Chains A and B, each alone.
Chain A
Amino acid sequence: MICRSACCGTRLGSSMKAITFTDVSFRYEDEGPYAVRHLNFSVEEGEFVAVLGHNGSGKSTLARLANGLLTPDEGTICVFSTQLGEKNLYDVRKNVGVVFQNPDNQTVATIVEDDVAFGAENVGLPREEIGKRIDFALKAVGMEEYRHATVARLSGGQKQRVAIAGVLALMPRIVILDESTAMLDPRGRREIVDGVTRLNREEHITVILITHFMEEALLADRAVVMNRGELVMEGAPAEIFERREELVTYNLALPRIGIICEKLRAGGMNVGYTLDAQELAKEIAECVS
């Protein structure tokens, strides 16, 4: 179905819109509070966008709306040139992969390759093609050696990489990570963030990274901040983190390096506010000497 509303199918410059939310509102219960309210938001194809927000800000709802797990009460959502509706959910989901928070709750099979194959089997691909997809997906997340391993025996970060591979096997053009790093240790988080950054740069997959870890947002092309279901800030990550006072009102902390700058300044050291570790090191060295 080709979408006829103004939001879809339009090309801005050379790039195409991957996802467009037009005036989208959603609430989980009638009469309840809105989880997402009059949201206007779009992502370009090939872009890496971080969505920030504290708990209950509506950022996970955004992920569920984007691939049709939830249907908006008002407004329209377009994925490439298709407007999401009952009939095309299946086709849209092939293009929009979602990785959730808890790796244990999204693995269907016991063995890594069987789980990765699940999505590809669902869309009825021939056997040889599924095999190729498994090769591709496991390679993309660096888990080739674990192909025949038992999922339960892997570390949290590895399990989550398998979950990403399971989504990649469908060859989506957009991958949404819905707080996929929240339950992992720092090392696991690193593995995931590096992995999706590579996917974005090398495979040109559009990435929407939903997180409350500010460090992860630094890698994105663009960051948006959500608060009470509304989009309240938008811009390059460095730009967003410049607006410190504003972030605090949305219950968000600065990235660690920003906190260090603030503390140093509060302690009387004359350093500028920066998110670049090398620059900060240089400034500290100057102050000390």
Chain B
Amino acid sequence: MKDVSFGQFYPVNSFVHRLDPRLKIVFLIAYIVAIFLATNFYELAACALVLLLIVFFARIPIGKVLRAVRGVTFLVLFTTALNLLFYKGDTVYWEWGIFCVSFEGIIFSVFLALRLVLLVVCSSMLTYTTTPVSLTDGVESLLTPLKWIRIPVHALALVMSIALRMIPVLMDETSRIKNAQMARGADFESGNIIKRVKATIPILVPLLLSALRRADELGDAMDARCYTGGDHRTKYKKLRFTWRDLVAFLLGAALIAGVVLMRIYLPASY
């Protein structure tokens, strides 16, 4: 399957790739907050500009970035359509029953679509530039305080990294099962939505079974390699906060501050 790029590491050696994963995770959260704080196009443009800079410094090809967006095309179009039809604005162009299309509605739905796209691109930048292992290390390190209330942080982080690593394997498996069922005459393409959802059952059941079998084998393989949980483990890759991280931190902080300042001093209009 070609389209599986969301959640996949893109191996180049760039400035962004070398940043501390903890910083990247915190930045992603801050960035998401910033896009949701943004209420006009200036602020959103500022966010988009920052993201473009990140993409540039991460040396990720634009095609790769767009592919991440393609995965959520349906979601974006769907929410845009809903907003477009249901937003009650003043300058009405067209009205029919409960639906109405207004100038404000158009602006609002475009705004939300952009917000969603930025969200997806920024999240995928995290996974493009961070190997699952360092992502996991980052999450584990950030969640360390939770250990005090006896939450198994190490296990959770490991589960996450294995899930990420299994994405391409399970995607391959899905297309294999799909082909096998199609060869036996299964039809996934026609019929109404209920029929199509029902048609996925012959894919999901074997997929689930095989995932469980894989999990079992992986468990054995981990046992065989002396895995006994996180207690006595050491880490080959230590997380280190370097000057790069400081620079990125300052830039990130500046972005958030910028959006907040714009929010205070610019009128809240589109």
With both beta carbons as reference points, the residue of chain B lying nearest to A128 in the complex is identified as B236
- A259 within 8 Å of B (CB atoms): no
Asked if B222 contacts A108 (CB within 8 A), the reply is: yes
Known: A105-B214, A105-B217. A97 touches B237 (CB 8 A): no
Measured CB to CB, the closest approach of chain A to B160, in angstroms, equals 12
A142 to B223 alpha-carbon distance, docked (Å):
25
Q: Which residues of B contact A107 (CB under 8 A)?
A: 165
* Size class of the B contact interface (CB-based, 8 Å): 20 to 34
A99 to B165 alpha-carbon distance, docked (Å):
19
A148 to B226 alpha-carbon distance, docked (Å):
23
Asked if A126 contacts B234 (CB within 8 A), the reply is: yes
Measured CB to CB, the closest approach of chain A to B257, in angstroms, equals 35
Q: How many residues of A contact B (CB 8 A)?
A: 43
With both beta carbons as reference points, the residue of chain A lying nearest to B229 in the complex is identified as A122
A93 to B228 alpha-carbon distance, docked (Å):
11
Asked if A110 contacts B9 (CB within 8 A), the reply is: yes
- A269 within 8 Å of B (CB atoms): no
Asked if A114 contacts B131 (CB within 8 A), the reply is: yes
Q: Which residues of B contact A117 (CB under 8 A)?
A: 236-237
Give the contacting residue for B221; candidates A105, A134, A148; CB below 8 A.
Answer: A105
A117 to B232 alpha-carbon distance, docked (Å):
14
Asked if B133 contacts A98 (CB within 8 A), the reply is: no
Q: Which residues of B contact A98 (CB under 8 A)?
A: 221, 224
Measured CB to CB, the closest approach of chain A to B93, in angstroms, equals 50
With both beta carbons as reference points, the residue of chain B lying nearest to A152 in the complex is identified as B168
Interface centre among A64, A97, A123, A131 (most CB of B within 10 A): A123
Give the contacting residue for B161; candidates A94, A109, A127; CB below 8 A.
Answer: A109
Q: Which residues of A contact B223 (CB under 8 A)?
A: 69, 93
With both beta carbons as reference points, the residue of chain B lying nearest to A133 in the complex is identified as B236
Asked if A109 contacts B132 (CB within 8 A), the reply is: yes
Q: Which residues of A contact B169 (CB under 8 A)?
A: 104, 152
A134 to B236 alpha-carbon distance, docked (Å):
10
A253 to B218 alpha-carbon distance, docked (Å):
31
A108 to B133 alpha-carbon distance, docked (Å):
9
Asked if B11 contacts A148 (CB within 8 A), the reply is: yes
- A197 within 8 Å of B (CB atoms): no
Q: Which residues of A contact B11 (CB under 8 A)?
A: 148-150
- B251 within 8 Å of A (CB atoms): no
- B227 within 8 Å of A (CB atoms): yes
With both beta carbons as reference points, the residue of chain B lying nearest to A129 in the complex is identified as B234
Measured CB to CB, the closest approach of chain B to A121, in angstroms, equals 5
Q: Which residues of A contact B222 (CB under 8 A)?
A: 108, 118
Q: Which residues of B contact A118 (CB under 8 A)?
A: 222, 225, 227
**Which residues of A does B touch, CB under 8 Å?**
64, 67, 69, 90, 93-94, 97-98, 100, 102, 104-111, 113-114, 117-127, 130-131, 134, 148-152, 163, 166-167, 170
**Which residues of B does A touch, CB under 8 Å?**
9, 11, 131-133, 161-162, 164-165, 168-169, 214, 217-218, 220-228, 232-238
16 other A-B residue contacts (CB within 8 Å) besides A90-B228, A108-B162: A69-B223, A90-B226, A102-B214, A105-B214, A108-B165, A108-B218, A109-B133, A110-B9, A111-B133, A118-B222, A120-B236, A122-B225, A127-B236, A150-B11, A163-B221, A167-B225
Contacts A/B (CB < 8 Å), 17 sampled = A93-B223, A102-B217, A105-B214, A106-B218, A107-B165, A108-B161, A108-B165, A109-B133, A109-B161, A110-B164, A110-B165, A113-B236, A119-B225, A119-B227, A121-B234, A124-B234, A127-B236
